[in-house]
Amino acid sequence: MTMPPDRDYIGWTKYVWLIYIVPFAGYPIALKEGAGRIALTLFATAIFIVIYLAGYRARGNRILYIIGAITLIGVAFMPSNLGAGAFFIFAASFAGHAGGFRRALSIIGIVLLILLVDVMVIGLSPLLWWWAAFFTVVIGAVNAHFAQAARANKRLQMAQEEIEHLAKVAERERIARDLHDVLGHTLSLIILKSELASKLADRDPQRAREEIRDVERISREALSEVRQAVRGYRAGLQHELDGSAEMLRAASIALTTKLDPVPLAAAQEAILALALREAVTNVVRHSEAARCTIELRRISDEIRLVVSDDGRGGAREDGAGIFGMRERIATLGGRVTRDGSRGTTLTVTLPVAGGPQSVSVIERSA
């Protein structure tokens, strides 16, 4: 039997509650009434059980039909069967599944009002129906409370599942960005060195062999970096500076560095290292530049990484690498700007880290 999500907690207990219909079903038998009365009572009991069980499958406003049908059976049999008061209790027990807590209380109130009108019309003594009125309110309110709690738990469970899903998506996106940065930079360097080795093969075989050995070394490093990226590890800024210098040298682009010791938290160093890798890769791929400058400075309460070149510049849409860089930098409260008016200048700005960890870089020129 399929249950609405907010009522999974009921389980087999719904069959236990049917014990409260036994006094109604056994009333004509206990009084030794005629066969017709007994058959009618048992038939009504069977109809009630079908409606009752259907109530646990009903969704939305359909539960109102269940409540109405059970209440009508109670109204019909209350004059002749004192056990019929149980029908009003059963009807009120479903009120919590018809909507919010206030709506449930309104439905319970309506069921109680119908019961009171019914017993007043037939002139039944309060001594015979007080229990039905009392438990209609109590059982209805308790079930409404548990139904509301079940819905709240279901919403919490769905929220937790959504958080887990978003965490998985974020991790996949992180791995994708890191692999883009790692492979984009490394494959570009491998292509440059392979082309250089091909050109040197005839006139300088020894230099060509050295370049091929570099290609092998870089490929092994790339494999290690891919594994680290998947695991969430980050290369240091100094490592990326050395790699950038090697890549620019292979592309015959002169490098000038202006690097100051700056306070960087571990997360900032990792993100700046990836930003430097992406920026230098773009210089080699797209700029057609002769010179490149890398600057790392602290200006007031900001840390700035600037990568500029004297290439063709111009305005162009951000690729996946720059887009990923902007996302990373934004998570640390920083920003990325690009100016293509004179060559290309990419500026990454981060706030100075609290509780800084000083990262020293060596100033160099190439």
pLDDT digits (tens, 9 = 90+) for 137-169: 998 898 888 888 887 888 878 877 787 777 777
Radius of gyration of the chain (CA): 38
Q: What is the pTM of this model?
A: 0.49
Average confidence score pLDDT of the chain: 82
User: What does DSSP say about strands 335-339 and 254-259: parallel, antiparallel, or unpaired?
Assistant: unpaired
User: What are the structural domain ranges in the chain?
Assistant: 5-161, 236-366
248: tokens are 């620019």
124-145, pLDDT tens digit by residue? 888 888 988 999 999 889 888 8
pLDDT tier for residue 90 given thresholds of 50, 70 and 90? very high
Task: Give me the percent of the chain exceeding a pLDDT of 90.
Answer: 24
Residue of 297, 287, 238, 290 lying closest to 262 (CA atoms): 297
User: Do residues 1 and 58 lie in contact, with contact meaning Cβ atoms separated by under 8 Å?
Assistant: no
- Predicted local confidence at residue 204, as pLDDT: 82
Which pLDDT score, from 0 to 100, does residue 230 have?
Answer: 58
The four Cα atoms 4, 8, 11, 15 give a dihedral, to 10 degrees, of -40
pLDDT at 355 over 70: no
Rounded average pLDDT over 68-87:
92
What pLDDT, on a 0 to 100 scale, did the predictor assign at position 129? 86
What does the block give as tokens for 221? 């490093």
Task: Check if the beta carbon of residue 88 is closer than 8 Å to that of residue 71.
Answer: yes
Q: What is the mean pLDDT of the segment spanning 183-205?
A: 77
Do 190 and 218 form a contact (C-beta atoms < 8 A)?
Answer: yes
What pLDDT is stored for residue 1 in this prediction?
35
Distances (CA, A) of 318 to 26, 100, 142, 324: 80, 49, 59, 10
* Mean predicted confidence (pLDDT) in 279-303: 89
- What's the pLDDT score for residue 181? 65
Confidence band, pLDDT 50/70/90 cuts, at residue 256 = very high
Q: The tokens of 327 are what?
A: 């996302």
Q: Which residue, 91, 182, 192, 167, is CA-closest to 132?
A: 91
The highest-level CATH class for domain 236-366 is alpha beta
pLDDT tens digits along 204-235: 888 888 888 887 777 777 776 666 665 554 55
Asked if residue 63 has pLDDT above 60, the reply is yes
Are 78 and 44 a contacting pair, CB within 8 Å?
no
DSSP state letters, 33-65: --HHHHHHHHHHHHHHHHHHHHHTT--TTHHHH
The answer on pLDDT for 196 being more than 70 is yes
